Each structure stands twice: as C-alpha cells, then as structure tokens.
Structure 1
Amino acid sequence: MIRIRLGTRGLGNVRFAVSPVGSAKDLLRLVGFSPGTLTPPWRTRATDALSRHRLGLLAVVGGGGPLGYAPDFLRPEPPGFLTDIDTALHQIATTPRERVRYELTEAVNGHSWDPGSSHPPPRQLLRALDRGEDHFAHRLADEMARFWHEALEPSWPAVRARLEADVAARASEIARCGLAETLNRLAPNLEWRDGELVVHLRTGGIHQLTLDADAVILTPSVFVDWALFCAGEPPGAPAPRTPLIVYPAGQVDCRPAAREHPLIGATRLKLLAELSQPRSTTELARRLYLSPATVSYHLQLLHRAGLVTRTRRSRQVLYQRLGAAAPGPG
C-alpha cells in the first residue's frame, strides 16, 4: 500500500498530464509481464520492435525488475500537460548519475523500503552498467526512441486523442462532483480518504510506503487496468521526484447528453451526430444548413475538448467523432 499525504498545498497542486513515453513504458510492461492481455496487433508490433531493433536492454529494464519494478527515470516527470517525445527522451538521456545509480540499485536489489526482496540481477543489466551511468541512460533513451517510433508512433494520434478525451471528462467530473469523488473513480485500487491518496498494490502487504507530498501528477494510460504508482521515494532519495500515478483511461462517451456536459449544446450535438465518419467543414455546413464559419468555430471547441479528431487528407481537413473503443495499432 502506498499512502500519499497531501496537505492544502499538495491538493491544490494535483494535476493531469498526457505522456507519450509513459504510454510506451506501459506497453513495455505488458509485453514483459502480461503479453496475453494485449490485443494481437499490439503484441506483434511491440515484440517485433524489440527483436528487430535488438532492444534487449530496454526489454530487461523497461519490462520490470524484481517484483515488477522498472526504473522510474524511464518515465520522466512531465513538465506540462503534454510533453513531446523528443523532450521526454532528452530527460531520460540526461538523468542525473546519482538518480540512475539509486534506481538501478532498486532494480537489482529490490525496493529500499523492502530490502528483503532481492533477486539475482539480469546479466545484461550488469554488463551495460560497466560503462557507467551516463552511458546507460543514453543507451536506454536511444532504445526507447526506436521502440517508440516503431511500436507506438503510428497509433499515437488515436491514443493521444483517447487520453486527452479522458482528461477532459475528468475535468468535467471535477466540476460536477469535486476532486475527491473524481479521485475515487479513477481506478479500483485508488482511493482518497482522510487527507491521503491511497494506492492499493496487487502485491498486497509486501510494500508499505507513506509519503508527504506537495503535488501529485495523474496520467491516464490505455495499457493499464489498475493504478500504478511511479516515483516518490522515502526521505533522502537523490533528485526526488513528484509522485506520479498512472490510471486506466476510461471509455469516454463522446456523445453525452446536453445536460451532462458543459461543452455540448444543440449545434454541437448535431455536429457529433454527423461525425460518425470523417467530414470536412464545408460538407458539415452544407448538411446542417450552417455557415462554414459557424461550423469551424464549434469544431475547434470540440477538438480542444478531445471529442473529435482532426486529420488532413490532401487539401482537406477532416473531422471525426472520437470513438469510445480503445484505439488499436494502425
């Protein structure tokens, strides 16, 4: 069980973020520990990327060490709501040496708060460490870049739209129900109680950690079904990070009733109804007897809210309603 104690300041600094490299790490974790839960296209694409590009170190480290632990520096702290992949890869490559050393000690010897859980270290990990922490971080960043471009980038627009739509739905939920209730609905093993954010772990009572935090970062993922705790360490850890919790992205309903969503009015409901297939602004204006300027205005709002996707085809920009199903590779 992980308990994060948040005072008034910490509660006010709870924020959401969408992480492309975090999604890649979640995919790696499933490949390493539960490949059967992935759909065949995702499993094939991820395993092919690891084998074709010989990303053995990433598979060993990113897939998880003892008790499923993988170093947190592979999921850098998002500086904003959406961090581009190049920034995140630079963060990995420039991880401070002492932080790399600390986290790899965790991976080799078990968690510092559970020192009795040591496991034999993977030989490939030890061989890579022989050249030092800086080389190790740069090599992992390079392998993560190749994995990202091969396995996840082709589907990232759909995955990103799903994640942004989830965050938009959570923001609406906070406005209706409050932050505490929204936190309790994020994942079955996550709860807010008595001023603490509690993460119940599948390992049961093995891990016990209580942290005092001034902030928490919440990031959705299409590759998890339970909340995962990342970063946030006992006092004295080098280069301490903000506690980060990965939670399962919900199945976002993109056509809520008008009374349930502050963005949706009669005109936007009609637009969403027309967007079961890709359509241009001009076509929508013709079908709904509206001016192109009016249609464009409403589409921009729906796109910013994550309710529609936008793609360019030749000289046309086409919009389509975001489906509720999990995006697949393609």
Structure 2
Amino acid sequence: MAAFGTVFMPEMAITKFENGEWTSTKNVPSDSIPMHPGAHVLHYSSTCFEGLKAFRHKDGGIYLFRMDQNVKRFQQSSELLKLPAFDAKQVEEMIVNIVRQYADEVPAPPGSMYVRPTHIGTEASIGKAAAPSSSSLLYVLLSPVGDYFAGGAKPLRVLLDETGMRCAPHMGMIKSGGNYASALGPILSAKDDVQADQILFCPNGDVQETGAANFILIDGNEVITKGLDTSFLHGVTRDSILTIASDMGMTVSERDITVDELLERAAKPNVEAALSGTAAVLTPVGTFIYNNKEYTVGSGEAGATTTKLRHALNDIQWGNAEDKHGWLVQV
C-alpha cells in the first residue's frame, strides 16, 4: 500500500488572486502548477494549508468533517501571513465540488479522503522580503488515505524538550509549512539520539505541542491541555476531542501545565497521554524521555479513555453515532 498522503486524484480545484480579485474556480491537473522561480512563496515562505477529511457512510453518502472550522483557520493563517483575503464560501464550494467529483474514490472506514487546501504567494519578486505577495494561488488537493496506523496505534515515545520551540511564538497558530520545517531537524535528532517518535516542545518548562500534533493529558476523569494562545496550533481535532470529553461528563481543563507536573502525573497508574491531529486522530503516548531518563506514562499502553475518545470521534465521522454538534456536511 502507498504511503499515507502520496496518492492524489488526477485533478484539483484552483483559483488565482490577480489584479486585485479572485478568478473563477476551475479544475486543472493536480501534478503541476505554473510558477515563476522568483515566486514569493519559494523565497519568503508565504504559504499556509489545511487538512480535513471526507468520510463514506454506510448509506453511501459522503460527508466532510468540520469544514467550516478548517476554512476559518485557513482564513486566519492567510491573514496572519498577509496573503490576499479570500471568501470562505468560494473555498467551501471548491472543497465540496472537488470531493463530489471524486466521491466514488472516497475509501470506506477506516479510510477517508484527505483534503488539502493550500494558499501560496506567487508574485515574482525577490525584493519583497519585508512585503507581502500581491498575487496568490489557492488550490484544493485530494488524497485517498487508509488508516494512519495500519498496524495499530502503538504508544509513542516522546522526548520532552525544554530548550527549543516548534516555531516562533507569534507564528504557532498559523498552519504554515515553515513551522513544520523548523521542527524537522530536532525531531530527526531525537529519533537518532533517543529513538523518540516525536518531540513535545516545552520551552522553559511550558508544555505546548509536538512537531505535528496537539498534546492531551488524561488523569482519571480530567482532560488537561494547554489553553489556546498564539504559540501553538489551534487543532480542530483537539477541539472535537475536548467537546466529546465534555459531553461524556469529563472535566476539561485548558490551562498551562509544566514539565514537573506532567512527570508527576505520568507516574500515576490511571494517567494517559495522547497526541491529537487530523491524520492520527488520537494517538497514545507510552513513554516520556527527559534528561536522558525514561518515564512510563501510566501503564505504558493505550489507555481506556484515549481509546474511548478516539472511537467516539470516529463513530461520528463514520456515521455510526449521532452528530449532535452539526459537524458533518454532506457533499
């Protein structure tokens, strides 16, 4: 089976911002885009993207999950990067129409159609290091994917890093390629040095997020995660999991948490930790690595509450449970 996110539908939806306005949406081949070598994005990283999924239900219907929230965050990222503003309705229509075109290609659960809206600055100007791009390109790619963890979600080994940050503090809430690139070097070093699967960035002891996912701690009936600020990504999956936990009667605490508190709680037998994101949904963490010492999180295995929350979210996405929050949009 092809690696997750490496297969694409033959066409993508695209629109351009030129001469102060957006063009009508059209579909073009998804394997190439015309771009000048001096394009702003290639030199000054004026790029942001989103990741959401379309799911096939048992009745054959295709449903997008929380598209409105992803488009809202997409607008926010574009605004903070000073890319041209776009109309949310146009982008939602682009997503719905291209998914509808390839509805027959949406896999059955646990697979899905991964949807990747992307916005890039295209002005050919290498003299604009301190100025925004006056033109841009916005497109929607589709990639049919299977289960992110085809062999089962084994608990991850996570290095706690108090010295670095995933990205600049004011850039954390932007879903931009540069943020992922800046975290790549430390993550690869952690894999080589201590066989970690990911880094949990904790600058000055403040527990934030990993290189590609939000972090959640579960202690009995309480779910603890950092409160929203500009330093880390405001995950849609994170928000969904917290909402489901609240629906189940759990206590949701969005607040700062220190490395000291994290390690103290991790020693308790009923504590669980997990990473949340669109691709991996909710993935258990079994081991923390800190100052060359390993700390087992709870039992070290996937906990019952993590599994329950993951299944509850999947059941809504797959149409096996009531969508009482109106998260699904049929295409």
Q: If the length of structure 2 is used for normalisation, what is the TM-score?
A: 0.28
Q: Which has the higher contact order (CA 8 A, sep 6+)?
A: 1
Q: If the length of structure 1 is used for normalisation, what is the TM-score?
A: 0.28
| Structure with more helix by fraction | 1
| Structure with more strand by fraction | 2
